[in-house]
Every structure is written in structure tokens, then in C-alpha cells.
Chain A
């Protein structure tokens, strides 16, 4: 019965995704959405992948990582090398980017996840910067001037497929036994360990999955903008992603998606006032944190049930019992 219920909601979500896709694709084909907003829609998708994958690490597993841009950079460069230097098809390049970032995430996560709290945050920040500076010094991938001449394979369709795929995989991971183990680590690491959960293994697992998806986002990014440049992957980019995660709510996937859409949209809407853009952005950030420190959704998910509760459908709740 429960399985049937789950399949039903999954199917409904899939239909909803298809409808959203059809509407936006239709608007693009009808030329109602111009190139500027098309670009921002692709950016929204890439940001959703980044934010949801970082939320897996920060929000669900409770490991404070602020080096996500580093993994994105690895994905961007590995996939670019595969498609430019080895003429691989797009999907292989993306898989390579994800694999590269995932392997690096595993290699980095294994030693550093012993640290906790602020120390882990600083370590990941430092590692992100080390990755970026190393890329800056590899002339094979263009060094400081960036990796140029990457074909534009990413379009709205690819972006949409990968965004839905990412959200689907991470959502199901969280709902699985492994995901529950990750959440228990966030709630209380010592108690989780006492219950027989191999905390190191799950922390590294979540970190690796998060890194791999950041690699996917990086691949999509470099194959959209024709170029992979070290300056796109500074710690400011990591902060950007982290901001979206916290704004949406640590441990809320729908929150992450909303925050990614909202912040990308705000920053695009302010693009015509370049000198005021970051100031408004930063003031907004401070005010939001002052008045809603737990993020927009806290750790709750936005769902139809929640919506009906908001609209006053109180009698709905009593029939949920069976």
C-alpha cells in the first residue's frame, strides 16, 4: 500500500516535471523567452544541481563543506578535456566529469571528514582553493586564461533532464536506509555510532555523491559557456551555493530548489544595475538571516499536503489517518 502511494507521488512528480518542461520549452520555441532569460534558466538548473548536492552534505549529513566550487571545477575541466581533446560524446564527458569529481571527493573526504564543525569548513574551503590554483597552473587546460573552445552541448533539455535526475537520485538516497543513516549522523554523531552506524563510511559516501553531482553541474556549465575559467570557481562561488542551501533551509530539497530559483532570478533581475546588484544581494542575505535564520523552509519539504494545510484545508488532515 505504501509502495503504491510512493509510486503514485513519484508519477505525479514526473508528470509535473514534464508539464513544467513543456511549458518552458514551448515558451523558448515561441521566442517568448529571449536568450538572456534562456541563459538564466540554464543557470537555475545548474544551481539547483549544485545546491541540492551540497544540501546532501551540509543539510542532511550535517558536514559543513564550503569547497563545492572546487568539485564543480573538476567536473567542468575533466568533461571539457574529454569532449575537446578526445572528441567524446557529451554524455561520456559528463560521466567523466562526475567520476573525476566523485573520485576526488572520495580522496579528499576520507582524510578530512574526521574533522568536524568549523575545522572541516576551513579544510574544504582550503581544498577548493587548492584545486582552483592547481588548475590555474596546468597549461594543458589553458592555465590562467581558461580552457577555451568547448562546444556548446548543454541546452535547456539536457539541463532539465540532469536537474530532474539529480533531484530524483538525491531524494531517493535520502529516503533510503543510507540516507537515514546520514540524517542520524547530523542529529547526533555519537548516538548514531552507538547504534552501529559506520559514521565515517556514510559521511564519505554523502560527500562523494555530493561531489559527483557538483561535477555534473560543472560539466553542464562548461559546455554551455564555451569556456572553463578558474575565476568562475573561486570560493565566492562556493559561498554562493552555500548561501542558497542555507536560505532554502538545511535539509530541505524543495527549499534548495526554491532558493536556487529565487536567488538566480534576483541576481539576473538586478543585472542591469551592476553596481547595486551585489549590495542589494548582500543586504537581502543579511535581512533574511536576521528574520529567518533557519532558512525559508527549515528542514521541511514543501508538498501538496503542506500547501493544503496552509490554505486552511484542516479536514484534509483527519482523513490521512488510514
Chain B
């Protein structure tokens, strides 16, 4: 292999990595927001992504929606599911030991996975083709239209999210609650409403990722959320948990590294690579790349 073909190879893996990474980033954003606001590793988040993918699937097959309406439908449906989960399973445990909420999150995750299996059958389903896949050839590298759609949609969503969090009143309330819940409550912020809203937004983003993955890989199944959910969490930690730009950066980096590992080494080590990065970042800089260093008070 001469040097130019290696460069093309690397470029190709970068393209694959960025499109995979933006999916991770979308899921990671939900993780990071929920962690930032109630300090909970929401293990059910990966399954919300699965719910979103199925909502998109049924929207296109039963209601014959086209891509954009299906995407919106799925996001709305998943945010409803997210809000209900928070209301039923997490809110009563707001003042319980943290580990109890974590176990509840595991319970919710199992419930969604196996409830999904019962409801939509465990067999993988073929996601319908929503737009013609065109393949572009750029200097030896192959880009297909799905990858472009993934990139455009996730960028749009991220920009919208950044706007909502930084410029709107609700976003301000979210930041306040995440900074200091009690002080925010004293200032008259309805904390429960803010937390519900956060779960709604986070779930909507995960659902968008689910639909995009369905479009990209053409196959969805009830257990599809487990691995991407964990990886997205790794991405959130990598970027600095609680930080929105961190989640985007972490997701992209993780996607690129995974693509490079599976392209140049072996795809079986792809998952190990993600976790190895996690360990390294935790030992070297536990607050992540963009996380703030908070000194623990005695």
C-alpha cells in the first residue's frame, strides 16, 4: 500500500467516523444533560434511542410519513416516553440514595428492551428506504447521501439545542438547576418542570439518532440501544460530563477512533477501544476534555 492510498483510507475512515460520531454525539447530549441536572447515569437512555428508531419505523411504514415528518414524530414520541419515565420511575426517588435511582434506571432499561421485544418481536426489522441513496466520489473517498443527511440533521439539532440552552428562559433555568438545584428552587424555578423538560429534549435527540441509524444501517432491533448507549456515555465522559460542547466533541472523537480501529486493525477490538479510551481519560483527566474541574469541599 503506497502512501497516497493510505491517506485516502484515512480520509475514508474519517468520513465514516464523523457520521458515526455525530450519532454518538446526539445520544451523548441527552446523557450529559440528564447527568448535569440530576446526577444520574440514565442507563435507559440507549433504549430511548431504540424507541425512537421504532417510532420512526412505524411512522414510515404505517402512516407512510416521509423522512422529515417521521423524524419529528419519532422525536415527539420519544420525548413523551422520556418524560413519562422520569415522572413515574425517577421523580419519586429524588431524595433516595443515588444507587437506588441507578438500579431503577437499569430496571427501566430492561423493561424497555424486553417490553419492546414483546411488543414488536425480537426479530430485526428492515428500515424502509426514505430517500434515494446516492454515492459521491470525492478524490477516491466515498460519501453517500445518508452520511450527509446524518451530518446535516445532527448539526441542525445541535445548533438548535445550543440556542435553547444558552438563549431561552428555559435554557437559563436548566443551567441554573444544574449549577445548584436548591438555590434555583429558592429563586422560584420549578425544578420538576425543568427536569421534565430536560428529559424531553434529551430523549428527542436520542430518538433522532435512532431514526438516523435506521436510515443508515437499514436494520433495527429491540436490543440495538445497549451498545450505542454505553458508547455514547463514554463519549459524554470523554468530552466532560455535564458539558454540551464536550458531548459533541466526545462523540465525534469516539466515532473517528472507532472507525480508524475497525478500518486499520480489527473490528472486534472496536468496542474495546472505546472503553480503553474511557479508562485512559478517567485516569488522566477524570473531568473530561472540556469538563470543569470542581474541587470537592470538605
Q: Give A residues with C-beta under 8 Å from B.
A: 58, 64, 111-112, 114-115, 118-119, 121-123, 125-127, 129-130, 133-134, 136-137, 144, 190, 235, 239, 242-243, 246-247, 250, 275-279, 281-283, 285-286, 289-290, 293-294
Contact = CB atoms under 8 A, between A and B. Distances in A.
B96 A293 contact: yes
Which of the listed residues B230, B271, B275 has the most CB atoms from chain A within 10 Å of its own CB?
Answer: B275
Interface string B252-282: 0000000000000010110110011011001
Interface of B: 35, 39, 41, 89, 92-93, 96-97, 99-104, 106-111, 113-115, 117-118, 230, 233-234, 237, 266, 268-269, 271-272, 275-276, 278-279, 282-283, 286, 298
A230 to B, nearest CB: 11
Given A122-B233, A279-B114, A285-B104, 6 more contacts: A114-B283, A119-B286, A123-B279, A123-B283, A126-B282, A281-B110
B103 A285 contact: yes
B104 A286 contact: yes
A129 B269 CA distance: 11
Given A282-B110, A282-B114, A137 B268 contact: yes
Contacts of A293: 93, 96-97, 100
B99 A250 contact: yes
Nearest to B108: A286
A126 B278 contact: yes
Interface secondary structure of B, over-half rule: helix
B286 A133 contact: no
Contacts of B106: 239, 242-243, 285
Given A118-B39, A129-B272, A137-B268, A246 B111 contact: no
A115 B282 contact: yes
25 contacts: A58-B99, A115-B282, A119-B286, A122-B234, A123-B282, A123-B283, A127-B279, A129-B230, A130-B272, A130-B275, A130-B276, A133-B269, A133-B272, A133-B275, A137-B269, A137-B272, A235-B230, A243-B103, A250-B97, A275-B114, A276-B118, A282-B110, A286-B107, A286-B111, A293-B96
A119 B291 CA distance: 13
Nearest to B286: A119
A294 B279 contact: no
Contacts of A112: 279, 282-283
A136 B268 contact: yes
Given A119-B286, A122-B41, A275-B117, A289 B100 contact: yes
